[in-house]
Each structure stands twice: as structure tokens, then as C-alpha cells.
Structure 1
Amino acid sequence: MPAGLSVHVGLNKVDPGQYEGWDGALLACENDARDMAALARAAGFSDTVLLTPDGTVDQVTAALREAAGRLGPGDILLFTYSGHGGQVPDTTGDDDEADDLDETLVLYDRQFLDDEVNRELRAFADGVRIVVLLDCCHSGTAIEVPGEVRPETGIRMMPLFRQQEIYARDQSFFEDLQRSLAKDSPNGEATEAAALLISGCQDNQFSMDGDVNGAFTAALLEVWNQGAFRGGYRSFHRAIQSRLPTTQSPNLYTTGTPAPTFLRERPFTV
């Protein structure tokens, strides 16, 4: 029988000591992680949950690597993240970013590049089904937000001035990391893991926080309806999208070449 492992990360704040005094306080991200873990367990997954102080680069990486070591062809990984999103300039990595920016997951101790996520997913055996759900902001290059984004606005985006401040502080670190990630790619070329990803919004939009769940996670749970949903990932995505405003339009996309039969599966099928 296929095996299913899931990793759920939810950060209601970050370490202000690592983010120039900014703690990024949010309300519902830990709830999102717990609720997605409960969904996964009911579907037959074995889950790992990393909340706020445990949502570090080392712990997230370790959880994904452990899963990669245990899953084989036909098995499935579910990775969910709820928290802030950010961006850093991609000046030294592969030429795979049309906007010359790397999107980031704002983990407890530092920003985790999208290329780092892809590196961890590439470590999974061929034939492992990979589903990634990201409930965070990935603001595009055309978006400008004046001033501080305050926690009460409920926007899951690291404020732009804070992104710029921290990037200026850590520029050499990120440039070295981007070089090493590009160098570690097979044949020195940009490659992507075969995965299905559903993001909470488009690159030029914001994902909203909430009192209980984030807007995207709340819509997903409503559509899933405790397992009553029937249909494939594309219809699942469209149903979630229909429950959110046009200002937050979840994106469905694939990287690499996941099997067409995978996309037609009922979501979270082990």
C-alpha cells in the first residue's frame, strides 16, 4: 500500500532578533497547520507539525529530508505552510525567475528561498507524488505598498521596507546561497521537482489572515468538507478559488512533469 507523510508549518510570529525587531505577528497560522494536519491524518497520512519557534530552517529542512528518505515511488508527500511570504533579489542564481526575484517563506529564523524548497523536493524519489499548499503572500514586482503593513490589516506579507532592510543586511549570505543552489542543480542547470503546488494567491496579490484560519485555508477546508469533496485537484482548486475575492485568487501550477493521473486524483489520496 502507498505511504503518505505530511509536514505542516504554521508561524504566528517570527524571531524579532533575526528580523531587525519585527515579529510579524499573525493570528491564524498555527490553527491552519493544526487543521491541515488533522485533515491529513484523517486521509491516512502520518504528520509532522512545526509551530512558530519550531518553524526554523533547520527543522523544516530536517522534516522534509526525513520524508524524502522514507517515501518511494507511488507514495505521497503533503507539505503545507502558513505564515508570511517575502521576496529577495535573484542576482546570482539561475535565470529561472522572470522578475529576477526569489519568493521566500518567512521562517522563524530567516527567509527560506523558493529554490531551497525546490532543492528539498528534488531529493524525493521519482514517482513520489508531491503536493504543496502555501498560505502566504508572494507579492509581485509591480506591487508597491507604502509604509509598514500593520498586523491588524491581516496581510501575510513581510513589509517591503523590512524586506529591503534585512536583504541589505544579509545580501552576501543570500547571494552565496543562490550561487550554491544553482551550482548544486543537476548539470548546473535549473531543474524543478515534479510537484503540484496550490498557492494562496497570485504573485501580485496578498493572502489574508483571519481570526480562526487564513482566508485560503478556510476556503480549502470548506471545500474539502471533512472529506465529502469528490473530484480532482483542478476542480478542487476552482472550488477554492470561487470562495475567495478576486483580490486573492489562488494559483494552481505544476513543476517538473507530474503524472497526469496524479492531477485527476481526489486530493490527499494516499
Structure 2
Amino acid sequence: MANKTNVNAAKGPQALALHIGLNEVSAAHYAGWSGPLAACEFDAHDMAAISSAQGMKSSLLITKKATRANFLAAVRKAAKALSAGDLFFMTFSGHGGQVPDVSGEEPDKLDETWCLFDGQLIDDELYYELSRFKAGVRILVLSDSCHSGTVVRAARPAPGTPEQRPRIMPRSVALRVYGEHKAFYDQLQNDVAKAAGGKVTDPDTALGNVTVSERLTAIVKDFHPAVILISGCQDNQFSMDGDHNGAFTEQLLSVWNNGSFKGSYASLHARVRAGLPPTQSPNLFTLGPAAAFLKQAPFSL
């Protein structure tokens, strides 16, 4: 047994990657809206190329395969497989959306979502799934989508060109989708709250912008893994689509420069942000004990 343990230790940390890219969603599940985009599948494949080159075992969920069930199964499988020192790298490229919050204290509050092919993943769910990873696991999430509830109250950006589409589900569509599936989304939030001990304290930080507050402190203390999330934009902005990559992913690939980038996650974020216009400023935040993680070389095992 001791020899086996030594052999496993000698192998070093393992890394799993999950890359999700949706160029459309199922109109049957989104009130007739399919949300066509052009570059999300490219984003997923390009990020998978990075993770594979770095020695990670990568999985792809592309458009029709990017269902709620497939996503949750992949994340839960990773949570069971990874231990302290291991890395889980996840990227999402697609539309962001909103559903009314039913588990928080503010009745008019919106929960942010990722628009998976056959239904939305609520930020409550993502928060809970990430919290189930073991202590010491490093989790990196890159989200190239619009996903903050406050964005629907901000001025919408100029239409731009056919190659520049905001990656957000229109508010009118979001309302119709919620109206048609209200019981499902309300139950999801209640189920997650119960699973998390009867209370989920503003878990929007799993998908949206974060400011230092008592809310964030309450969440962080429940996190045992170290989480870094870099999102495509601030909460009052839009992540833009393109022909070959989303604006955020395109800039990240440029800065990474096939692995020639030298620096930390913090400096990677700074360089990507500096290369984008003021109308799209990528955000970075952490959950759990991530100070040392932030100083590491990006995508390193």
C-alpha cells in the first residue's frame, strides 16, 4: 500500500477541464428563441486546445450536448475525482440570462444564469456545485457571457455590426421563459438552498461581479476549494460575440500567445482587460483560499 501511495504522489497533481460552447439553444425550452451566436463553439475548442497542451484531460460540451444533465454530471464527476492540489478548469461561452430570485431576501432580485441548451443553470446551482469540491482543489472558471442581473437595467450597447452581438438573452425572452417554467426554476432554487443547509447567501458571486461586503464574507467561509473566476465583462456591460471568437476569449488567446505569456493569473487578467475597450472590462474575483492560486502561472498543473 505504501508503495502505491508513493507512486500516486510521484505522478503529481492531476487536472481536468470542461469546455462549454453554445452557438444556439433549444427554442423548445426558451419560448421560441434559439439565440443564434457565431463564435462560442470556436471559443470552447480553442480553450480545449490550451488545456490539452497543458496536460489536462479535457471534455467538450458543444451546443446540443451542453444540456443541464450533461453539465451537472461532468462537474460532479470532477468533484469526486479531484483532491487537494488538483486543478479543475472550466470555461463557458454562450448567452447569459436571468430568473427572478425566490430564495433571497429581496423579492425583486434577479438570479444570473448560464443558458445551457435545454434550460438555464442558475448561479445558486453553480455556487453549490463548486462548493462540493474537496479542500485544496484549485478551480479556474472563465465565463465569456453576459450574466449580471443589473445589466438589464443598464443602457443597452449600440447594435454594432453583425459580427458584434451581445451574449445575453433578451429581457423579454427571459420573462417568457420564466413564465413558462416558473415551477421548475423556483424549485431549483429552493432545492439548492435546502442542500446547502437551508440558506444560500446571495450566491450571485458565482457568476457575476463581486464587491467586498458582508455577503461575500459569508459565502467565502463556506468554500473549501480555491476558486478563480474571470468573467468577460462587468455587471453593467455586455460580452460581445464575434466571427471566430468572443471578444474576451479572442483577447485572452492573444495575451496567452500559445503559451509564451509569463506571469500570474492576476497579471493575465490585467493584460486581457487592458486590451479590450472600456465598454467591456473583464472582472476577476476569488472564492475560498485563493491567494496563492492567483500568483501561479495560468493553466499550470
Could you tell me the TM-score, scaled by structure 2's length? 0.83
How far off is 1:186 after superposition?
A: 3.8
Shift in Å at residue 45 of structure 1? 0.7
- Uncovered stretches (5+) of structure 1, i.e. residues with no partner: none
User: Which residue matches 2:297?
Assistant: 266
Is 1:104 aligned to 2:113, yes or no? yes
- 8 Å contact from structure 2 (residues 31, 180) kept in 1: no
Partner Cα separation in structure 2 for residue 44 and residue 144 of structure 1 = 42
- 1:166 equivalent to 2:177? Answer yes
How many Å apart are 1:99 and its aligned residue? 7.7
For residues 151-177 of structure 1, the C-alpha deviation after alignment (integer angstroms, 9 at most, x for no partner) is 765111101100011111222221121
The RMSD of aligned alpha carbons is 2.2
Which of 220, 240, 262 is the equivalent residue of 1:230?
262
Give the alignment partner of residue 133 of structure 1, picking from 142, 148, 155: 142
Cα distance change, pair 229–177 in 1 and its aligned pair in 2 (3 A):
same
Q: Determine the structure 2 residue equivalent to 1:13.
A: 24
Q: Work out the CA distance in 2 between the residues paired with 1:62 and 1:29.
A: 21
1:181 counterpart = 2:192: yes
Q: In structure 2, do the counterparts of structure 1 residues 108 and 65 end up closer, same or farther at CA, with 3 Å as the change threshold?
A: same
Provide closer, same or farther for how the CA distance between residues 161 and 149 of structure 1 changes in structure 2, counting only shifts above 3 A.
farther
Are the equivalent residues in 1 in contact too, given 2:124–2:200 (CA < 8 A)? no
Please say which of residues 175-184 and 186-195 is displaced more in the overlay.
186-195
Among all aligned residue pairs of Structure 1 and Structure 2, give the percentage whose two residues are the same amino acid.
49
Conserved? CA contact 2:166–2:238, under 8 Å:
yes
* Unpaired runs of at least 5, structure 2: 1-11, 202-218
Cα contact 2:192–2:200 (8 A) shared by 1: no
Aligned length: 266
Alignment of 1:62-211 (within 5 A): 62-90=73-101, 92-95=102-105, 100-141=109-150, 142-143=153-154, 145=156, 153-186=164-197, 188-190=199-201, 191=219, 193=223, 194-211=226-243
Q: Is the 8 A contact 1:198 1:250 kept in 2?
A: yes
**SS of residue in 2 equivalent to 1:102:** strand
TM-score (norm 1): 0.92
Asked if 1:248 corresponds to 2:258, the answer is: no
SS, match of residue 167 in structure 1: helix
- List 4+ stretches of structure 1 deviating above 4 A: 148-153
Amino acid at match of 1:34: H
Give the residue type in structure 1 aligned to 2:282. Answer: P
Matches of 1:149 and 1:23, distance apart in 2: 20
